[in-house]
Amino acid sequence: MNDTGVEGEDFKPGPLTWVPKPAPAETFAGVLMQMLSDPNIPADKMEVVMKMRREVLGDQAREAFMEHFAAFSAELPQVERDGTVALVKDGREVGRYAFTTIEGMDVILRPLLAKHGFAISFASTDNANGVTVTGTLSGWGWERSSTYTLPPDKGPGRNELQARGSSRRYAKRYVTDDLCNVVRKGKDDDAKGALEALIDATQLKELTDLIKATATDEAAFLKTMVSGAESLQDIRQRDYPRLIMALREKKQRRASK
């Protein structure tokens, strides 16, 4: 008998064969079928097992989402400002500022999102305050959303429908910024006034409602999450999407417990 334990023969290893590991869902399905066929397992225990499994799959999906989003972020370049807007006061142009159009962002984002297994979808509604757009970034069994509301963009020569259409495009851009952490090249000093604009009454109410729903300490929230704001009314428009997302995710986590 040789070292391989095979008597009278020399052992010659063959090619290695990779045996795929069963997916968690497949493994659980087999266990579940065994439990269903066992009359001694009560229904309430089955319900607990199913709940635990949903939580495990949810955690796995969230971890996969964040891991691949980190890889996506590492490859995402800064985007060019390919559009300009005139600042008009009392009927005359007082300045211009550059911005990145949604089309310009799409050229950069769509291939990278697809490469890393993500997709963005939008839903919009018209309301008394203008247009509300919700964007959802989904992938790897998980998703997160961002919502932005803008008043009608009543530029020169625009009717009501065109003004709301313009606002919808702007809101999509802001939502995409928020979901993908888009960074633009160059400075934007001409737009300083727009960047310093404060949140409106609707946004203030939404923040206030979420702070109450999540039992968040308002003072601590302002201190840790917002720069230069002594009250919720002092929050700037540019900070709103980030804050609203953080509170919504906190509310979702509380609801899942």
pLDDT digits (tens, 9 = 90+) for 12-69: 555 555 555 555 555 655 666 666 667 777 767 767 777 777 787 888 899 999 999 9
Strands ordered across the beta sheet of 142-150: 119-127, 130-139, 142-150
pLDDT, tens digit, 9 for 90 and up, residues 132-191:
999 999 999 999 999 998 888 876 678 888 888 888 988 998 899 899 988 887 654 444
Place of tokens 């269903």: 36
Is pLDDT at 246 greater than 90 in this prediction? no
What pairs with residue 133 in β-bridges? Answer: 124, 148
Give me the pLDDT at residue 187, please.
54
What pairs with residue 95 in β-bridges? Answer: 87
Mapping DSSP onto H, E and C, the string for 47-68 reads HHHHHHHHHHHHHHHHHHHHHH
What pairs with residue 69 in β-bridges? Answer: none
Give me the pLDDT at residue 180, please.
93
State pTM to two decimals. Answer: 0.53
Domain ranges of the chain: 24-75, 76-186, 196-257
Residue 211: count other Cβ atoms within 10 Å of its Cβ: 19
Q: Is 98 helix (H, G, I), strand (E, B) or coil?
A: strand
Above pLDDT 70, what percent of the chain? 72
